[in-house]
Structure 1
Amino acid sequence: MHSKIFRGIQQEDVQVAADALIAEGLRPTIERVRQKIGRGSPNTVSPMLDNWFAGLSKRLGVANASDEQRLQPPEPVQAAAAMLWQAAMQLAKHAAQEEFLQENQKLDMRRAELQNHEAELISRQEAFNARQIALDETLQLARDQLTAMTSRLEEAGILQARRDREIEELRQQLKSREDERDAELQRRNDDATRHADERLRLEARATANEHRWLTELDRERLEVKRVVSAHIELESRAQATQTQLKTAQAALLDRLNQAERSLKDEHHAHELAKMHILELQSSLDVCRLAYAEIIKSQASQEPKNSRRKPLKQLMRGVTVRRKL
């Protein structure tokens, strides 16, 4: 790599840049001359620009040597004025530089604060998105469980209806058998009445038949009792299942309501965060505009006119800028 060596700002560079600005219809200032040359500090450009202004009248042919000699103050006065001018310029530049540094520090602090706020908001947004996803998953799980519970409740209702039909069928069968038994007993009585003569002969057979029928009747009664007990147990289980399903459904609805409320709260917090970001961006824009105004006011200072002002008025302007 080849290193480049830049020479310092010369009077000719300032004169060429000032002449170019005059040709463009612009008033030569320190900042414009520096921009035209592309380098140089204000402390270096300022006295060279003053020399250019001092020799401008001679170059234009509008100055009279005798008038200049007559109007010029004594050299000690000129030297004192030049020293006062340089001191005032140094104070003004120092104050402007301090103000510029303070504004830069404020802007850096503000920018860091905005970056911290932005990072915090990004983390909160990520947490909010994760929480929203978890809430959506919980809500979907609750809905699936509610659907499953509803299905199970419907199946339990269908099963209970089927059990009721079976119990009804068993009751019909029991009633039919009881009717058959009553008919058989009536037939027996009729046969016993009509066949009184055959009672003794058929007593043994009748006793055996009666014993068999009583045994079958006891068996049927036990079967009926078993069926009724099973029906009661099924009804109890169905009621317990229905109670559990209602309790679970109420709990799921409560969890669903809580999830919806939490989601609304998160949406509200997100909207507040967005509003806070907009306020911070607006404050940053105001700071940038103020910074631009300060730079513009520093760039638009005119050394020629300010040199003609008295020293007290110049120091008063420096004090006003320092207060601002």
Structure 2
Amino acid sequence: MDLKSSSDNMHPIRGGRGIQEAQVWEAADALLQDGLRPTIERVRQRIGSGSPNTVSPMLERWFATLGKRLEGRSPRLVDGEAQQLPLAIVQAAQQFWDVARREADQVQVQKTEAARRELDLQRNALARKEADLQQREASFEHARVALDEALVSSRQAVAAMETQMHAQQQESARLLGDSEAEVRRLRRALDEAVASKEALREKTAMELGAKQRAAEETEERHLAQERRLLSEVDRERMATRQASAELAKMQKAHAADAETARSALGAAQLALQHEKTAHSDAAAAWSLQHQAAQVELATLRERSAGVEQRATDLASQLQRLQVQSEREITQLRESHASTTAALRELKVPLGESEKAPPRRAMKSPK
């Protein structure tokens, strides 16, 4: 019985996509009879068609029944009789089976050796990881101790900072109260100085106006008196001229009248001299009064300037105190904000470290 008839009698024909399972089995038997190992590619070349996905399961089923066929037992019966392969095919298949078994044993040994090496590598890696874990646990323990110490020192620092901040707040409140009291005092002093300055300015203006009016009245009186004296002098001059003319005309005839006129002229000159002397005295008195008024006006101006300077100094001092108070308040606020931020930053890590659960040490694999 040849290989083809044996294959047809041993296997039913199963439908596939383009090829039948019987075709695959016949091609595998033919390759085996030729001394070649049936592979998917060789079977496809033998058949001339078929995809690897279709040929692969059919070829695996062929290999699954090959052992029973080599032992002389057919996996299927046709008309109740066992079908056996020819002796040449059985011998070739036996040789191929032995070669395949040796190759499979070698492959299994190689896989076992590779698995053993892989296991050794994994064991070494696990040992290294265990050592690393132990070292990390020791590092974590040191870090935990350092963190506990840092936590204690941080809490102490926080307590000290809170105490210092409380003291600074009290000092700031005291300084702020003192500054506000000083500002109120300076404002009252400035208001009083301004009021005094205004009152002094009004009084000085009134006195100066009165003195100016008195000086103007005195000057008007002086001018009127001077005009009166000048008019009198002019009248005396006219009278003197007239008397001189009459005296020249009547010199010889009226000697007595000339003497009388001369006496009257002397009296007039004496009166004019008295008037000039009185006018000079009045002018000197007015000059003294004017000088006194000027001196008093200068004194009042100096006092007003002193008051203005004092008010300006008080305003400058008030402004400096306000700027200094604002600067100190700003510094205190910045210090309070930085202290609050530092406390917040310290409290957040402390809260996280207290909430974090302790890590358990990993057990080394036995």
Give the TM-score taking structure 2 as reference length. Answer: 0.49
Which residue number in structure 2 is paired with residue 188 of structure 1? 243
How far did 1:296 drift?
Answer: 3.3
1:125 aligns with 2:125: no
More displaced stretch, 292-301 vs 227-236? 292-301
The residue type paired with residue 344 of structure 2 is L
Q: Which segment drifts farther, 260-269 or 194-203?
A: 194-203
Query: Counterparts in 2 of 1:150-229, with a 5 A limit?
Result: 150-196=205-251, 199-202=254-257, 205-206=260-261, 209-210=264-265, 212-229=267-284
Residues 137-193 of structure 1, C-alpha deviation per residue, up to 9 Å, x if partnerless? Answer: 234433443443344334433333332222211110110110111122223233334
1:246/1:117 Cα in 2 relative to 1: closer, same or farther (>3 Å)?
closer
CA deviations 1:219-267 (Å, max 9, x no partner) are 3233222222223323432443344344444434433443333233222
More helix, by proportion: 1
CA contact (8 A) 1:114 1:280 kept: no
Distance 2:220 2:158 in 1: 90
Instruction: Output the CA distance in 1 between the equivalents of 2:178 and 2:297.
Output: 46
Structure-2 change in CA distance of 1:219 and 1:103 (3 Å): closer
**Structure 1 residues 104, 217: closer, same or farther in 2, change over 3 A?**
closer
Residues 139 and 259, structure 1, Cα contact 8 Å, conserved in 2: no
Deviates more, 1:264-273 or 1:189-198: 189-198
Q: Note the 1:1-324 alignment, pairs <5 A.
A: 100=155, 103-196=158-251, 199-202=254-257, 205-206=260-261, 209-210=264-265, 212-290=267-345, 292-293=347-348, 296-297=351-352, 300-302=355-357, 306=358, 309-310=360-361
Would the aligned equivalents of 2:243 and 2:261 in 1 still touch at CA under 8 Å?
A: no
Q: Percent identity?
A: 12
Contact between 1:146 and 1:252, CA under 8 Å: does it hold in 2?
no
Return the index of the structure with the highest Cα Rg: 2
Q: 2:165 touches 2:339 (CA, 8 Å); kept in 1?
A: yes
Residue number in structure 2 paired with 1:13: none
Q: Which moved more, 1:194-203 or 1:108-117?
A: 194-203
Q: Which residue in the other structure is 2:98 paired with?
A: none
| More deviation, 162-171/126-135 | 126-135
Matched residues in 1 for 2:155 and 2:251: separation? 139
Q: Deviations over 1:252-300 (max 9, x none)?
A: 4433443333233222212211211221220242144246425633663
Match of 1:87 in 2: none
Cα distance in 2, alignment partners of residues 216 and 96 from structure 1: 116
* Cα distance in structure 1, aligned partners of 2:149 and 2:263: 136
- Displacement after TM superposition at 1:126 (Å): 1.9
Higher relative contact order, chain-length normalized (CA < 8 Å, sep 6+): 1
Instruction: Give the 3-state SS of the residue equivalent to 1:309 in structure 2.
Output: coil
Residue by residue, what CA displacement relative to the aligned partner does 1:97-116 show, whole Å, maximum 9, x if unpaired?
Answer: 78656633432332223222
CA distance in 2, matches of 1:272, 1:95: 35
Partner of 2:12: none
Given residue 242 of structure 2, which amino acid in structure 1 is its aligned partner? Answer: R
What SS does the corresponding residue of 1:310 show, helix, strand or coil?
A: coil
* Separation (CA, whole Å) in 1 of partners of 2:175 and 2:362: 52
Q: Give the number of aligned pairs.
A: 219
Q: Give the Å deviation of 1:203.
A: 5.5
TM-score, length of structure 1 as denominator length: 0.54
Alpha-carbon distance between aligned partners in 2 of 1:95 and 1:240, rounded to the nearest angstrom: 81
SS at 1:216 equivalent:
helix
- Structure 2 runs not aligned, ≥5 long: 1-146
